[in-house]
Structure formats: C-alpha cells, structure tokens
Amino acid sequence: MSERPQPKDPVDAIIDQWAAVRPDLDTKAMEVFGRIFRLSRTMGDRMEKAYAPHGISRGEFDVLATLRRAGEPHTLSPRQLSATLMLTTGGMTGRLDKLERAGLLRRSPDPHDRRGLQVTLTEKGLHLIDEAVGAGLAVQTEALSALDDEQADRLADLLRELLAGTPETR
C-alpha cells in the first residue's frame, strides 16, 4: 500500500529554513508541536465563532460544559470548577459573575459548608450548553473529516500517549 504524498504546510517551510541555517538541529519536535499549536489556534478561533451565536466565549463554554458534565443536579463548588479548568479563583470569579448575570448559572450557599458556595446550572444554562456543545462538535467533526476513522482513532491514541507522557498535564 503506497502512501499519498503529503501536502506541504507552513511548518514544512519553517523546518526547511532551519535545515538551511542549522542542519545540525533535530527538528522533529518542532514539526509535531508547531502543527499542534497552529491547529489549536485555528480550532480555538473556529470554536469561538461556533459559540458566539449562543452569546458565550470558549472560557464561558468551559464553565457551563463542566457543570453539565457533572450530571444532576449540575452543581459544583467554585474550587472544583477552578481545579477542573486550571483557572485561578480570580479568573473563575469573573466568568461566574458574567454567567450569573446572564441567568445561565446561580451561586448559592453550600449547605454542607457555611463558608462555601455552590454553582448550579440554571434551566436556561442547561438549554444553552446543550445547543452550544452540538455547534462546537459540528465544527470539530467537520475539521476531523480530513482523516478517515482509522486515522482519527490513531491520532487520538497518539495524542493520548503524548499527553500521558507530559507530567504537567496529568
């Protein structure tokens, strides 16, 4: 089975330039991560556009999606949200303030901890996140259509291994 010739991309041009001026460098990592960074930036922009009609940003989507994935009653503490999303408490507060003003979540005292709060998805927030996740998945699925199912599975497996081998992401 012969492989199709791979199209050249902007990362190839960068690698070729490095090869010309520093042929001693092993640029394999640059080839991989340069493409991951470019893909991440491109898909991040596409995801922002997918969420914009729903009135939310990617960061706000992440908060709502985390609450949705938590299952009934769609409630977590601000600390749990911060840990899951790798945000500072200050960054989380700003997002929660905006989402609460929009009526997408509510904060209430934690009945098990007088000092704590609970964050709960409202019905409006539940409806919005269910629509937004569908819109985002459509964008991701369209982008992934460049690969067949076997390639997509192989890529997911390879990225899982790479992520597992990176201590900061565990």
- Residues 121-166: tens digit of each pLDDT: 999 999 999 999 999 999 999 999 999 999 999 999 999 999 898 8
Q: Which of 25, 26, 32 is nearest to 11 (CA)?
A: 32
Give the integer Cα–Cα distance in Å for 137 and 153: 16
Beta-carbon contacts of residue 101 (< 8 Å; ≥ 6 apart): none
Would you kindly state where each structural domain of the chain is located, as residue ranges? 56-163
- Tell me the fold of 56-163: Arc Repressor Mutant, subunit A (1.10.10)
Contact present, 159 and 147 (Cβ < 8 Å): no
* Whether pLDDT at 44 is above 80: yes
At 120, give phi and psi (nearest 5°). Answer: -125, 135
Per-residue pLDDT at 4: 60
Whether the per-residue pLDDT at 2 is higher than 70: the answer is no
- Mean pLDDT over the full length of the chain: 91
The pLDDT, as a whole number, for residue 97 is 94
Tell me what the mean pLDDT of segment 72-90 comes to. 88
In the chain, which ranges are continuous DSSP H helix? 10-21, 28-51, 58-69, 78-85, 89-101, 123-144, 149-164
